[in-house]
Amino acid sequence: MKIEIINRIIESLLENIEAKDQEQGRLLVHDEFEQLDSRVNLWAIRENVRDLKETTVTNLVNIPDDIEIKVTFAPPSFFLDVLGGKKDVPYWQVATVIRILRYSDIIYDPKGKIQQWIDQAPHIEWDPDLIELKRQTTLLLLDRMDNRIREEMLADAYIWLIKAAEEAICIPLMQANAFKIGTATLLLDVLRDFDEDLYVFFADLLRVSAFTHTKLESARKELETLADHLYKLNVKTDREMWILAAFVSLNESERRLNQCQKADPEMISRLFETAVGELWQAYWLVAQNPRSEVKLDPWVVGSFWNHFGFDELKENWLIEQKKKVKTLLPH
């Protein structure tokens, strides 16, 4: 996207900030694929908001209609809890805060507070307690995998294996003080430069090379239809927010797959694996069935198996992959 358009968007949004908004600052967030995107991603830090809230801005004067403008509103505490070393801050919040501060440009900072946060960010390290929590979570997920194997539910076991691997792979990254590791898609991108063997291992688990453009699109459309049906059945239940989050990943998967058509060969590979990773993330989210003893929705598992399953996926294969995952865990 042309820099002059981005500047016009920023200027237009800044003109609308009022004293009642109690805004401390704004950040323009960058990502790996922004040169292919028609999207501007901004974070606004406001004292008068309690939780994260994302909104899409429309109808800006002199801005093309095909540009998507997203603004995430966040309270200062979302950042200060991480920067201040507060205990019991969730892993995803730590990863998000440091990623935002490292990969953004300040566009509004009237009192210089945001610059102070950015200056602090390089000195933040992962809390050993969060690393230990990752280890415990990995073991819990591997136990669930074992339980499903005993019940001959191999598709469920495979899903728990992938999630366990996702958790375990974060540990060596956290020990190296990496922060851009919030989701499976970000993991793949970080692992490209961090550890080729881990990158290949995780990409193989996600079956990246087994997908084609057509197969990936078919899987996404099938899951989208299923997610829409399940959402209607689960409005105002424990599953509602899980399924809504899945739609975000489904949309992102579609966006990255479409961008493959206009990218150079190296970028196509990264975009495609991102599309697969987002599809996996969506399957994981839609499958969550918190009140069920089995935990994963059978309809979603069946769809997952249809698109991710393969002939070699047997009990012995699952156990071998489990051994590889456990080698990543600190003793």
What is the percent of the chain where pLDDT is above 70?
100
Same domain, yes or no, for 111 and 141? no
Is the separation of the CB atoms in 73 and 103 below 8 Å? no
Residue 27: CATH number of its domain = 3.30.460.10
In a domain, 72, yes or no: yes
Choose the final residue of a domain: 100, 123, 146: 123
Same domain, yes or no, for 145 and 286? yes
> Is pTM beyond 0.75 here?
yes
In a domain, 117, yes or no: yes
**pLDDT score of 16 more than 90:** no
Choose the final residue of a domain: 123, 147, 180: 123
Average pLDDT over residues 142-152: 96
Is the separation of the CB atoms in 325 and 142 below 8 Å? yes
Choose the final residue of a domain: 71, 102, 123: 123
Same domain, yes or no, for 161 and 146? yes
Same domain, yes or no, for 168 and 272? yes
Which tens digit of pLDDT belongs to each residue from 97-119?
Answer: 999 999 999 999 999 999 999 99
Same domain, yes or no, for 171 and 318? yes
pLDDT for the residue numbered 181: 80
Which tens digit of pLDDT belongs to each residue from 235-264?
Answer: 999 899 999 999 999 999 999 999 998 888
pLDDT band of 1, cuts 50, 70, 90: low
| Choice among 16-30, 113-127, 149-163, 317-331 with the minimum mean pLDDT | 16-30
pLDDT for the residue numbered 37: 80
pLDDT for the residue numbered 23: 92
Same domain, yes or no, for 74 and 187? no
Residue among 43, 41, 46, 44 nearest 19 (CA): 46
Same domain, yes or no, for 264 and 289? yes
Same domain, yes or no, for 41 and 166? no
Which tens digit of pLDDT belongs to each residue from 172-188?
Answer: 999 999 888 877 788 88
Average pLDDT over residues 33-61: 88
Average pLDDT over residues 207-218: 96
In a domain, 44, yes or no: yes
> 88 or 326: whose pLDDT is higher?
326
Q: Which residues contact 65 (CB under 8 A, 6 or more apart)?
A: none
In a domain, 112, yes or no: yes
Q: Which residues contact 58 (CB under 8 A, 6 or more apart)?
A: 69
Average pLDDT over residues 124-148: 95
In a domain, 331, yes or no: no
Instruction: Report the number of distinct structural domains present in the chain.
Output: 2
Helices (H), the chain: 3-15, 76-83, 91-102, 113-120, 128-150, 154-175, 184-194, 196-205, 213-233, 240-259, 265-287, 298-308, 315-326
Average pLDDT over residues 269-286: 95
Strands 39-46 and 68-74 come out as parallel
Q: How far apart are CA 309 and CA 32, in angstroms?
A: 30
pLDDT for the residue numbered 132: 95
Same domain, yes or no, for 181 and 81? no
Same domain, yes or no, for 105 and 134? no
Same domain, yes or no, for 138 and 119? no
pLDDT for the residue numbered 305: 97
**pLDDT score of 212 more than 80:** yes
Same domain, yes or no, for 153 and 15? no
pLDDT band of 293, cuts 50, 70, 90: confident
For residue 116, the enclosing domain spans: 3-123
